[in-house]
Amino acid sequence: MTEEIRSILIQIGEDPARDGLANTPKRVDQALRFLTSGYSMDPDELLNKALFDVAYDEMVIVRDIEMFSLCEHHLLPFFGKCHVGYIPNGRVIGLSKIPRLVDMYARRLQVQERLTMQIAETIESKIHPRGVAVVIEAQHLCMIMRGVEKQHSIAVTSSMLGAFKDNQNTRNEFLNLVRDAK
Ligand SMILES: [Zn+2]
């Protein structure tokens, strides 16, 4: 993509030959490929070796997962925290795989709503738990930087499946545990 990025530099009025920009097309190319590397990852490959039969049936929560993604409307970052909870039904996911699952979907062009759902639905389909809850709180540079001047606004999205959707106490327990983090 280096030629295309060079061409963008010219279009915005820059001189791609000047010192500071000489290697920029290559660096932007590498950065973009990394930030979208989730396309070449597969949830089965990521999770299949990390699913375990465990007779634990209380809520599992991994909270404050740092999340960085690119909005598909402006190709600008949105970033914040992701909280994931589920109630096992005989199977669990290795804890370290949950942040990696978040990364896998975050490293694609996204809207926050879809990112939230994809994380929840993947956990649901892999281990069929009694319920899944995902909350993402994020700041969008396309809102903050482009003069809307909503510099402190945070977008919150949630996806609640199974027991988290059906049972208000379960949902509240999750939301309280996640809120205590701050
Ligand atoms: Zn945007």
- Tens-place pLDDT, residues 32-84: 999 999 999 999 999 989 999 999 999 999 999 999 999 999 999 999 999 99
pLDDT at 163: 98
Residue 68 makes CB contacts below 8 A (sequence gap 6+) with 35, 77, 79, 106
Positions in the chain short of pLDDT 50 = none
pTM: 0.94
- Give the β-pairing of 60-71 and 109-110: parallel
pLDDT at 146: 83
Q: Which residues surround ligand 1, an ion (CB under 5 A)?
A: 71, 73-74, 142
Catalytic choice (71, 82, 83, 137):
71
Ligand 1 centroid to Cα of residue 156, in Å, is: 15
Catalytic choice (4, 66, 72, 113):
72
Verify whether residue 128 is a known catalytic residue: no
Catalytic choice (30, 73, 113, 128):
73
Ligand 1 centroid to Cα of residue 15, in Å, is: 27
